[in-house]
């Protein structure tokens, strides 16, 4: 009985693409999630598969320094460097959160050789949601 021929792009054999030729990604998404404690920059292709990511913590910052603008800037540089080598030319930026590193990360993205088609804000904003706690009586 003959063995079945494995598919080239299947997850079973562990390889999704060629190792000699890195995949060319002309367009993608850049997600910047900026909390008060950290800034996470994720770069995906159009289908949503993660190509590269970086954060203030993975860049070597510890404690409260992870939430600084410089940590966000460094995280954005590290995440974009790999995709710029893979040939990404255009990207859509999606911002989430109200941290300090978000503006610094956006500034780095605009300075890079990737053309930003548009910027979308994804932060959760309450539509006058939860009721306030009642006034304290002493």
> Would residue 18 count as lying in a domain?
no
Kindly state the DSSP code that residue 67 receives in the 8-state scheme: G
Query: Is residue 90, in this structure, part of any structural domain at all?
Result: yes
Asked if residue 16 belongs to a domain, the reply is no
Q: What tokens appear for 73 in the block?
A: 């800037």
* Burial (Cβ within 10 Å: 0-12, 13-18, ≥19) of residue 29: middle
Give me the domain span that covers residue 57: 27-119
Select the more confidently predicted residue: 16 or 46: 46
Q: Using the structure block, give the residue that is written with the tokens 């070597």.
A: 60
Give the domain CATH number at 109. 3.30.420.80
CA 127 – CA 36 distance, rounded (Å): 22
- Whose structure tokens read 């890195």? 22
Residue 135 lies in a domain: no
The answer to whether residue 20 sits within a structural domain is no
For residues 124 and 110, give the distance between their C-alpha atoms in angstroms, rounded to a whole number.
24
Examine the pLDDT at 56 and tell me if it is beyond 80.
yes
Residue 67 lies in a domain: yes
- The confidence score (pLDDT) of residue 5 equals 62
**How is residue 57 annotated by DSSP?**
T
Domain-embedded: residue 100: yes
- Give the end-to-end CA distance of the chain in Å, rounded to a whole number: 85
- pLDDT of res. 72: 94
pLDDT band at 1 (very low <50, low <70, confident <90, very high): low
Number of domains in the chain: 1
Residue at 132 is within a domain: no
């Amino acid at each position: 009985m003959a063995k079945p021929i494995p598919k080239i792009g299947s997850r079973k054999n562990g390889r999704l693409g060629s190792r000699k030729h890195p995949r060319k990604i002309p367009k993608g998404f850049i997600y910047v999630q900026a909390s008060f404690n950290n800034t996470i920059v994720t770069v995906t292709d159009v289908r949503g598969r993660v190509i590269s990511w970086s954060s203030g913590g993975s860049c070597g910052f510890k404690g409260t320094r992870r939430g600084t603008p410089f940590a966000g800037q460094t995280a954005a540089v590290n995440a974009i460097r790999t995709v710029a080598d893979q040939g990404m030319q255009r990207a859509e930026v999606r911002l989430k959160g109200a941290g300090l590193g978000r503006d610094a990360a956006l500034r780095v993205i605009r300075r890079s050789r990737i053309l930003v088609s548009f910027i979308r804000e994804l932060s959760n904003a309450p539509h006058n949601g939860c009721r306030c706690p009642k006034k304290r009586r002493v």
